[in-house]
Amino acid sequence: MNTQNMETIGERLKELRLEASLSQEQLAKELHFGSKSMVSQYESNKRAITIDALLEYSQRFNVTTDWILKVF
C-alpha cells in the first residue's frame, strides 16, 4: 500500500477551512476554540482532535466524522 498519497486528519481539516476561505483565527472564533493555535495544532497533527472538536468541524462544514477520520 502506498501511504504517501494518504491524507492526514490535519490535512483534511485544513482543506475544509481553506475551501471555506477562512483563516485559522476566523475558524477558531467561529468554533469557540479560544485561539488560532488550536486550529493550527489540529491541522499540523500536533494535537489529536477531540470528540467535541470533531463534531464541531463536522457540523460546521457539513461533512461526516467518518470523512474527517478517513473511516470508509
Kindly report, residue by residue over 4-38, the tens digit of the pLDDT. Answer: 456 899 999 999 999 999 999 999 999 999 899 99
What is the grid cell recorded at 37? 493555535
Between CA 68 and CA 10 the distance in angstroms is 9
Reported as a pLDDT band with limits 50, 70 and 90, residue 1 is very low
Task: Report the predicted TM-score, pTM, of the whole model to 2 decimal places.
Answer: 0.87
pLDDT of residue 70: 87
For 59, residues 6+ apart whose C-beta sits below 8 A from its C-beta are none
